[in-house]
Structure 1
Amino acid sequence: MIALPDSLQLSPQQSLNLGGIPPGSQALVASRLAQQLEQPLLMIASSTAEAYRLEQALQFYADGLDIKLLPDWETLPYDNFSPHEDIISERLRCLTEISSLQQGIVIAPITSLMQRIAPTDYVNGRSLQLTRGQQLDLADFRRDLEKRGYNNVNTVYQHGEYALRGAVLDIFPMGSPLPYRLDLLDDEIDSLRSFDPENQRSLEQVTRIDLLPGREFPLDDDGIAGFRRRWHERFNVDHRKCPVYQDVSSGIAPAGVEYYLPLFFEQCGSLFDYLPENIAVLRADGIEAAAEHYWQDIHHRYEQRSGDTQRPVLSPAELFIPVPELFAALKTYPRLRLSHEASSRPELNLASETLPPLDVDARASDPIRALRAYAETHRILLCAESAGRREALIDLLKRNHLHPATVDCWRDFADGTQALAITTAALEDSLAFSQPTPFAVVAEAQLFGRRVAQSRRRRKTTGNAEAVVRNLAELRIGAPVVHADHGVGRYLGLQRLDVDNESNEFLTLEYADGAKLYVPVSALQLISRYTGADDELAPLHKLGSDQWSRSKRKAAEKIRDVAAELLDIYARREARKGRAFDIDNDYQQFADAFPFEETPDQQAAIDAVLRDLRSEQPMDRLVCGDVGFGKTEVAVRAAFIAAQNSSQVAILVPTTLLAQQHYESFRDRFADWPFKIEVLSRFRTAAEQQAVIKDLQAGKIDILIGTHKLLSSDIRYANLGLVIIDEEHRFGVRQKEALKNLRAEVDVLTLTATPIPRTLNMSMSGIRDLSIIATPPARRLSVKTFVRERDEALIKEAILREVLRGGQVYYLHNEVKTIEKTARDLQALLPDLRIGIGHGQMRERELEQVMSDFYHKRHNVLLCSTIIETGIDVPNANTIIIERADKFGLAQLHQLRGRVGRSHHQAYAYLLTPPQKQLTRDAEKRLTAISEADDLGAGFTLATHDMEIRGAGELLGEGQSGQIHSIGFSLYMEMLDRAVKAIKDGKTVDLESNQSDHTEVNLRIPALIPDDYLPDVQERLMLYKRVASADSRDELRELQVEMIDRFGLLPEPCKHLFRCAELRLRAIAIGLSKIEASGAGGRIEFADDTKVEPINIVQLVQKNAARYQLDGANALRFKEQTEAAEQRIEAVERLLDLLAPSTT
């Protein structure tokens, strides 16, 4: 659609100017050039942000072409930070792929092009392929992996890691989207398969994998020796006082070691060394200025750092290519300059045009008059950011008598004849050309003066709800745990003991006065983490005393009352019947339109909501998930079902801007369905609001989104069936009371990122159902969190790091009276900043304007109060600086940190504090907890930490203390659950007796996970807990499959562990409390409520008195010689078969 000269050819070192190309047209012109020239192109971007913008536009215009982007490290020159592993992985993949590029475009920001990087013989020489059937000596290969820069870990989660367990090797190659698992048979690779790094389960078989180096420099013996030699050549400092030198000498890669890269190589390379020989260079106006500016930044940073004798720095020219050298290198390639200015050769000028103003004026009698006039002279392709925006734009055009055709992509429009078309593409720039046929591509921002947020991809993982509190995954030596029968003790580790000549593993617990308790791993279902107060204040109980039973008795009295109140709530919920919604084929069609694969925990939340909606009992479910992890889609599905069943949906959010963002998200998702979605907010005029209220009452609106105004008395619904509440804890007391009343009438779905402890307690106790989503979006990196004393140099560095890569910064200063002074200080520190100020004492419309301006990138720093805690999604904001972080609660800090890290860029959170001696003990613990929980999906774990620090809340009162301190949260919940069940079944509530179905199975055989099969103690502990807590044989079989998949074939002691666990389940099912066996026979004990029929026991003894005899009123002895473990297990299984109640 654009006319390039047919004869356009580039000879070596030739330079041509293509004129008439404004910035928005560069991607389209580049894609046409790549197709016409049939050779690869290097496209230089002036910044990282520009590089990503070009990549996005090229993926739209360059249909089928290979697009490679070499990202920079996203650090400042001479930074003490290292790039994230995922960025290194992308860079290494790009460097290994571009040399073989036949046709396509390599994009490099000027920052990447000016870097001196590893030479080609390092990157290519340390890459290899692994194929199925290949011979592999594991010991040699392990040494080779270390040499290549891969880290040995217990469990593989990130790029550059490997784990070896027996004959199973897990590895996450750099540049690969997934990790792989190798099974070895003798010294041959028997199978190769990808696996999910979150749940560690295998995905699919592959025949080969490519293994790139683990880092951009060698840290093997030769690399370290070279580093040390060159260090002494360059620096005249005492190396003993230099942490970088000491770390590298010890084989450790210290943070920021990348800025010592030249010390690892005789000679560094550059991107030029990796480019194909026939590549041509594309450069736009302004590249020279960008290179000069970056070189000045490098020098400025060098001057700041050069006086540090403990961390000496290399000269700029050793780390970066000086500007003259850079442009001299570029002159050796054929070059095309894409310029806005006209070329001196008329045939090289493209007929681009400047678009006239095409703004939609909603107040005019013809809102699209400008667009209509332009469409008379040009073919136009409109680009909407999303399907919902596309449908909204189509509605607007049709109301004004324009009827665009919908096309799928640029190629459909370019090859077609449509005069006016619309597609979905997140383009930032519009463009127009007058020849050969006048046409324009019009981005949505051209019409409405703003961009809307883009969707983010999600990737699969898994999440497990109550186990977060009850499992032992985070257990550290010295941490308090609760034994259901003996009380609170401290965990001292796993210990292997020989009992009755058989070796087994035991959990060692220490109680008051140093007393020890050894708990067999088969009884780990009796152990839970102590969650209720400060770890150090946990009340250790005395073994053999009645102290524990007294604590339980006291708690039991309180729990009975709580259970009675709970049941009153249950009764009221069950007494009134809600509406059972039908779910038909339309729902499946709607679900299939979700553009991402649902993750297992997201799917589990959706399934739970579907069950709730099908039921006649009203739904009251809490969906907890970190910010941006897919909670909205759960709400969208629920809203669809309600609307499909002719019920109205009300969606309550805390702020007007959030209402607007939800409105756009829902419009997007419901674009192809005939439901009417409206928003009630101050963005609407009074007349529009009244029209919405009137339509709502008349039943013309299916889904209404708004703030607490939706709860006011003048809002009347025709048929309200579902209320969705976003961040309920942000609403006031009056609104919460109104919501409490609503729960009596309709289905309620609550979404939250970090539930406050009381909410969490209520969820776990079954008053409200709980679903957890712990799944990060694809390419989203966890937030690097730093707790630091306030320092201006640190603040300047943090802001610069973000702004230079095209990002935005939240700067949180929660003192309104000094916020203006802080703005002046920041402006003095960095004069080029565009600072917006937002706080709760501003007029609401003024605040909304500031937030909207930040959202649309008119500010690059938002200086704000906690008003941003529940806010709009700004994917481009990836740094947050929080002053006086010690004054905030844990849930609040997590929520604030959730404002950043919503894209694939590394995000940073700086928690600034006064000197440490001024911090309270609780503040220190909160800051430690949040800096440790920087993994994605930490919100739920943080809520449990909040309970530990503040003491878990009483369920039905506002108090934050209770019986939980004395017996721990997990046991409190178990006892409450038992009490509720007992009252429901009309039984006496017995809470003082020993808990749990704690049937003991002791066959005096080795039943354990050997440490040579799985050396990681933490991993063994978790698996023991899962085996002991399994509720079914299917669950045990599934766990066996998982262990074989992850660690290899089960050794005999491990098989025995599972067989004994199966016996325990069978024993519980028929009511046995104990099974003991040895080589000569054994003994079983019957529980008080056993299901074994007395007649079965009597007949057994009568038929074979030599083998079976009664032992008191509730036990049976048996005799059978069983030397081998397998024989003994089978003997017990036969006996259980004989005792099992008849099913006829």
Structure 2
Amino acid sequence: MSLSAVYTNLNSKHQLSTIFNKWENGLSLPRGLFSLFILYLLEKQYFPIIVTDDEIASENIYDELFKLLGKDEISYLPFFSGDESFNKTAFENHFSQFTRLFYNNTLRVIISSPRVTNLKLPNKIILEKFRLVFKQGEEYQFEWIISKLSEFAYQRANIVEFAGQYAVRGGILDIYPFGETYPYRLEFFANTIESIFRFHPNSQDNLEACSNFSLMPASNRYEDSSALIKNLPSNSVFILFEVKGHHYFSYPSTRFLPASNSFFKSWSAFSSAFEDPLQMFSLLKNDGFSIFYLYERDLYRKKVMEFLGESVFREWGVLSEGFVIPQKRIAVLTEHELFQRERMVNPNEQFIPESSQRSPLTESLKYGDFLVHRDHGICRFDGIKTIVIDDVPQDVVILQFARDDRIYLSTKQLHKVFKFSASSEVKPELSALKGIKWQNVKKKVTAAVHTVAEDLVKLYRQRQALQGYRFFPDTEEQADLESSFPFQETADQLKAIAEIKEDMESDRIMDRLICGDVGFGKTEVAIRAAFKAVMSGVQVAILVPTTILSFQHFETFQQRLSKYGVVIEVLNRFNSTKNSIQIKRLLGKGKIDILIGTHRILSHDVVFRNLALLIIDEEHRFGVADKEKIKKLKNSIDVITMSATPIPRTLEFSLMGVRDLTLIETPPKERLPIQTKIINWDDKLISDAIHREKQRNGQIIFVCNDISRLQDLQNELQRLVPSISIRFAHGQMKGAELEDILLAFYSHKIDLLISTTIIESGIDIPNANTLFILDAQNFGLSQLYQLRGRVGRSHRRAYAYLI
């Protein structure tokens, strides 16, 4: 059962199709009816081409129809930017899929922008001429393949991570074809392909053997292409969804304008008149309405059965919003509207591999990198080559040691090698293969580790002996909170949550480090742990390094926990004296469940009544004095420390087992890697990047850490892009003014925010996906990493420009 079943049911019982009969004159209906209108056109044997200049609307429409029709009947052409290189990979993936479906005659719906009329389409003969097929056991000239890849507009890389890339390592050739979910690995013996494997671009591990695969060039490499519009079937019809201006197509066309009126209402417009949902549903049922509920997760199907009973039709399906047609006694509502759950839409999801942990060595290995061999010491990576051993070719890693000594290490022994790391950028001295110097170093380090370990054991013995607070098992409210999470948890998130709950329900005092990349879901882990503590009748303190992050966490925790009656307050330097006194008074009486704040909450005058859980975000940002205060708290309460870049001592304690360590290494499936570029100041490049982000309805962050230059920078950027709204923010502003600016940016009232590094930690603006960092050479690597993490927090491709 699906959305098509809803359409069939509504059409047979309520003649829904009659409202679409005069579609040639244009339609003004609730947005939720649009996909049903497309089903109507398909039923009438039309070939709809949906055109919109709103990229977000196009993604939502594609998501609905993709889940309804399947990957072989619908094609999405993200042809919105004036410069296709801005999102070239996404476009090429969809274009490759489009040509295959179009000539296989399975395609039934196209979604694009008005610029689709400019798109060139190679004919079927040209496609076959350009297709490159690789088969196991056949011979190919290696140099010829490389030249073809260059001709096809594929880019050479050290390792293959994105579609349109290839990499060469000895007799191994990795290729990531456009339109494919996974790349392919070809292993050669001389000029013969010995094996073909599909592999994972994150871990670089082989997944499955293949006998062949094919490769097509980028869209701009075809000869004798003709306009797509000249190749469309005769039953084509153009549907202009909220398109501005006039457009001429040599096929029938109509306009669809999302709107509510007295005859057709969106679900949100209809339900806003009722305070009590149960009263509203009771009224609908008594008036003879057919109520349809569309769910995406089975959990929400069960929940609606408890909420509304058996009288509601429950179908699996996706709509951006529900609708009500009073005259026909029809009401359709969706899972995300009923349970206020945000929907994540990603039109590129089919091209994103399942999440996988990265291989720490192969991820960034390049010529000249320093490595450490477990047995022989410090060396330098000098590449990979193929050598013949006992008449068998093998790929080996070349390790350069002192005195020009080399070791050829089999790729099967890479576990003996790891990346060299040090606190300074001084180049290390290469170890000599002959002599005992490296062995002496290992002995000294081993002895030092034993000494440190003994001291640490003594230090933490007291803590381990103390009996901690045993938190209650999960309640129904806990289950309800977790089911309301708007996204799909990753495997690592679920593992982290389970480990924390196990610690909290034991007698042992918890001291756990949650280490995960920016945007990998550490905050949700903290929310669930904090709520579990509150449900156990104790207080929670959340310590953050910056005032802005305290506001951000306050908003996030309020949004998730307020409906359960959890009292949350924030304490930082922007609180008035009167407000601070009031918060401290209520805190001491136990009337505040969760207190979020900066180092201000460590002050001697901030006293909790029954604090049992401390959550520290970005511990590396706190000073020595603050950490001494934290240590005094940690002797008796459970502690969770969260960081993307933990300080070495913190990480060392965790790796040695003194502190428990949980890694969140799996990114959300919809998350795309951030494209990072180092540039000089270029008016055209900067203005183009800003315009492109604005075209996809996104926002921009511009980091400048010199307060005296912010006003001049705003004037310069306003000159480059006069059509967008720009404000700047810094930590010396008054609290109310700074909060107003950040909230305006958060609610998309500001297009571009110029800021100092106050936005470095934790600011979560999923709609901001272009970042500029001025004078990037003045920042540390950890700072750049945190700043870059302010973008790329949604399914959209993010771009970071280091100036």
Q: Which among 791, 796, 804 is matched to residue 695 of structure 2?
A: 804
Q: Distance in 2 between matches of 1:44 and 1:446?
A: 30
- Helix, strand or coil: the match of 1:801? helix
Q: How does 1:1109-1120 map to 2 (within 5 A)?
A: none
Partner residue of 2:253?
Answer: 335
Verify the 8 A CA contact 1:679 1:706 in the aligned structure 2.
no
Q: How does 1:293-692 map to 2 (within 5 A)?
A: 327=248, 330-331=249-250, 333-338=251-256, 351-352=263-264, 368=275, 412=313, 427=320, 435-437=327-329, 460-463=354-357, 468=360, 478-482=368-372, 488=378, 490=380, 509-511=400-402, 514=403, 516=405, 529-532=419-422, 537-540=427-430, 562-579=452-469, 602=493, 605=496, 609=500, 612-613=503-504, 616-635=507-526, 638-639=529-530, 649-653=540-544, 654=546, 655-663=549-557, 666-667=560-561, 677-681=566-570
Partner residue of 1:89?
Answer: 93
Partner residue of 2:229?
Answer: 272
Q: Which among 655, 661, 674 is matched to residue 783 of structure 1?
A: 674
Higher Rg: 1
- Helix, strand or coil: the match of 1:265? coil
- Helix, strand or coil: the match of 2:513? strand
Q: Which among 838, 841, 846 is matched to residue 737 of structure 2?
A: 846
Q: CA deviation at 1:896?
A: 0.8
Q: CA deviation at 1:810?
A: 0.7
What amino acid maps onto 2:25 in structure 1?
A: N
Q: Percent identity?
A: 29
CA 1:593–1:701 in 2, change beyond 3 Å: closer, same or farther? same
Provide structure 2 residue ranges, at least 5 long, that are not aligned to the other structure.
1-9
- TM-score of the two chains, using structure 1 as the length reference: 0.55
Q: Distance in 1 between matches of 2:743 and 2:524?
A: 24
> How big is each residue's C-alpha offset from its partner over 1:1002-1061, in whole Å with a ceiling of 9 and x where there is no partner?
xxxxxxxxxxxxxxxxxxxxxxxxxxxxxxxxxxxxxxxxxxxxxxxxxxxxxxxxxxxx
Q: Distance in 2 between matches of 1:818 and 1:785?
A: 24
How many pairs align? Answer: 768
- Helix, strand or coil: the match of 2:668? coil
CA 1:287–1:490 in 2, change beyond 3 Å: closer, same or farther? closer
- Helix, strand or coil: the match of 1:881? strand
Q: CA deviation at 1:892?
A: 0.8
Partner residue of 1:71?
Answer: 77
Q: Distance in 2 between matches of 1:520 and 1:191?
A: 22
Verify the 8 A CA contact 1:725 1:750 in the aligned structure 2.
yes
Q: Distance in 1 between matches of 2:158 and 2:244?
A: 46
Verify the 8 A CA contact 1:480 1:530 in the aligned structure 2.
yes
Verify the 8 A CA contact 2:567 2:591 in the aligned structure 1.
no
What amino acid maps onto 2:552 in structure 1?
A: L
Q: CA deviation at 1:137?
A: 4.5
> How big is each residue's C-alpha offset from its partner over 1:539-588, in whole Å with a ceiling of 9 and x where there is no partner?
45677778768877887887676445423322232232335668789899
What amino acid maps onto 1:749 in structure 2?
A: I
Q: How does 1:625-774 map to 2 (within 5 A)?
A: 625-635=516-526, 638-639=529-530, 649-653=540-544, 654=546, 655-663=549-557, 666-667=560-561, 677-681=566-570, 711=602, 720-731=611-622, 735-774=626-665
1:52 counterpart = 2:82: no
CA 1:748–1:690 in 2, change beyond 3 Å: closer, same or farther? same
Verify the 8 A CA contact 1:19 1:350 in the aligned structure 2.
no
> How big is each residue's C-alpha offset from its partner over 1:242-285, in whole Å with a ceiling of 9 and x where there is no partner?
xxxxxxxxxxxxxxxx4xx5xx412x233335644423221245
> How big is each residue's C-alpha offset from its partner over 1:402-427, in whole Å with a ceiling of 9 and x where there is no partner?
x9956999x948x9xxxxxxx99894
Say which is worse superposed, 799-808 or 154-163, in terms of deviation.
154-163
Q: Distance in 1 between matches of 2:710 and 2:171?
A: 61
CA 1:839–1:122 in 2, change beyond 3 Å: closer, same or farther? farther
Q: Distance in 2 between matches of 1:810 and 1:899?
A: 8
Partner residue of 1:895?
Answer: 786
Q: Which among 91, 112, 122 is matched to residue 108 of structure 1?
A: 112
- Helix, strand or coil: the match of 1:798? helix
Q: Distance in 1 between matches of 2:441 and 2:575?
A: 58
Q: Distance in 2 between matches of 1:734 and 1:57?
A: 54
Q: CA deviation at 1:113?
A: 3.8
Q: CA deviation at 1:43?
A: 1.1
Q: Which among 778, 793, 796 is matched to residue 905 of structure 1?
A: 796
CA 1:643–1:212 in 2, change beyond 3 Å: closer, same or farther? farther
Q: Distance in 1 between matches of 2:494 and 2:566?
A: 25
Q: CA deviation at 1:893?
A: 0.7
Q: CA deviation at 1:41?
A: 1.5
Verify the 8 A CA contact 2:169 2:384 in the aligned structure 1.
no
Q: Distance in 1 between matches of 2:278 and 2:520?
A: 38
Q: Distance in 2 between matches of 1:407 and 1:857?
A: 39
Verify the 8 A CA contact 2:75 2:111 in the aligned structure 1.
yes
Q: Distance in 1 between matches of 2:266 and 2:486?
A: 35
Verify the 8 A CA contact 1:459 1:599 in the aligned structure 2.
no
- Helix, strand or coil: the match of 2:640? strand
Provide structure 1 residue ranges, at least 5 long, that are not aligned to the other structure.
218-257, 292-326, 343-348, 361-365, 395-402, 416-422, 913-1144
Q: Distance in 2 between matches of 1:496 and 1:341?
A: 65
Q: CA deviation at 1:770?
A: 3.4
Say which is worse superposed, 167-176 or 100-109, in terms of deviation.
167-176
> How big is each residue's C-alpha offset from its partner over 1:114-161, in whole Å with a ceiling of 9 and x where there is no partner?
33344454446666999xxxx855326987898585789897654356
- TM-score of the two chains, using structure 2 as the length reference: 0.74
CA 1:368–1:824 in 2, change beyond 3 Å: closer, same or farther? farther
Q: Distance in 2 between matches of 1:767 and 1:442?
A: 48
What amino acid maps onto 1:797 in structure 2?
A: D
What amino acid maps onto 1:97 in structure 2?
A: L
Larger proportion of strand = 2
Q: Distance in 2 between matches of 1:490 and 1:769?
A: 33
Verify the 8 A CA contact 1:351 1:435 in the aligned structure 2.
yes
CA 1:784–1:859 in 2, change beyond 3 Å: closer, same or farther? same
Q: CA deviation at 1:911?
A: 1.0
Partner residue of 2:26?
Answer: 18
Verify the 8 A CA contact 1:783 1:901 in the aligned structure 2.
yes
Verify the 8 A CA contact 1:837 1:863 in the aligned structure 2.
yes
What amino acid maps onto 1:265 in structure 2?
A: E
CA 1:271–1:781 in 2, change beyond 3 Å: closer, same or farther? farther
What amino acid maps onto 1:755 in structure 2?
A: P
- Helix, strand or coil: the match of 1:573? helix
Partner residue of 1:1040?
Answer: none
Verify the 8 A CA contact 1:477 1:492 in the aligned structure 2.
yes
Q: CA deviation at 1:895?
A: 0.7
Verify the 8 A CA contact 1:627 1:753 in the aligned structure 2.
yes
What amino acid maps onto 2:77 in structure 1?
A: P
What amino acid maps onto 1:660 in structure 2?
A: F
What amino acid maps onto 1:138 in structure 2?
A: E
Q: Which among 288, 310, 314 is matched to residue 245 of structure 2?
A: 288
CA 1:742–1:162 in 2, change beyond 3 Å: closer, same or farther? same
